[in-house]
Amino acid sequence: MKKPDIKAIFDSFNQFNILIIGDVMIDSYMWGKVNRISPEAPVPILMSTTQESRLGGAANVALNVQALGANPILCSVIGTDSKSKTFHNLLKKRRLSNEGILEDENRKTTVKTRIIADNQHLLRVDEEVDYELDAETEKKFINQILTILADKQIDAIIFEDYDKGCITPSVIKSIVEYANKNNIPTLVDPKKRNFMEYKNVTLFKPNFKELVEGSKIDIKKGDFEGIFKASQKLHSELSAKYLLITLSELGVYISYNGSYKTLPAEIRDIADVSGAGDTLIGTASLCLAAGLEPEFIAGISNLAGGLVCEKVGVVPINKDQLLQEAIEKYS
């Protein structure tokens, strides 16, 4: 297989528009130190020193796409609560458009608060609703996405599904049909609820647990022949062109055209795995839009997911660092 011009590929990222559909959230952090145990209950007392809010969920995918030089267009539904104002302010701060953000007074803006002491997670508190959009909001959301697709040149579409109800079977069907008619590649980071709804997409990216549950085949993580069997079942049922499976410490697996390839994880000083999947799917979307072969899509995305695991908290990829590693590996 001919090696790509990595520098030229990364330069080409700057011309792409990537549409990201999915559940957005605010990642809130409370940092501090623990010096004693509470006299009221056997729990640590955190002396809070810093608090911070960041974009999370599908919005973190947008940040990764932006960090790689492309233009992300984020489509989601949030509440009309006080946290929605925080979310819009975070978008503005990061210079992300809110043209695809729909507000619904019947929904809550998702917030995940992580309490951290000395780089160790002590607790996470989630504020959210996870029921599906009502029929009226769903119709508005689909029309809003289709309008953006009709008005702009879109080079790839990502479905970033966190099972919070923003992505419904009707949203999937409407957008995938439009994408396939207009030759726009589609990528999916699935969760359990809609797992089998993503038919006829270009790249489907479950993790190992989701693969086992979705294919209903009992296999071990290191059993690559078993994974291949499960993936072929999914290829058949979903008609997906590429199946990219993340295997955590074992790296990634990609199958296409009746064959598969495994790529081992890079040796890393792992600090936090939060957000690695967001980085991986964002990177894969740009590699796919750039026309890279499946093995290179998987390989560069694998590098990106590993790099962000070296950072504490949910952070976007560093393009220069990823470019350097990709050049060293593939040039």
The 10 Å Cβ neighbour count of residue 59 is 30
Average pLDDT, the chain: 91
- CATH entry 3.40.1190.20 includes domain 6-34+45-330: yes
Helix (H, G, I), strand (E, B) or coil at 6: helix
Looking at the chain, the whole-number percentage of residues with pLDDT higher than 70 is 94
- Dist. CA 292–CA 155, nearest whole Å: 14
Yes or no: say if 172 and 179 are a contact pair by the CB < 8 Å rule: no
Query: Of residues 126, 161, 278, 320, which has the active-site annotation?
Result: 278
Quickly state the pLDDT bin for 312 (edges 50, 70, 90): low
Quickly state the pLDDT bin for 271 (edges 50, 70, 90): very low
What are the φ/ψ torsions at residue 308 (nearest 5 degrees)? -70, -20
Asked if pLDDT for residue 35 goes beyond 80, the answer is yes
Angle between helices 58-67 and 276-289 (to 10 degrees): 50
- Determine whether 278 is an active site residue: yes
Residues in the chain: 331
- Dist. CA 89–CA 92, nearest whole Å: 5
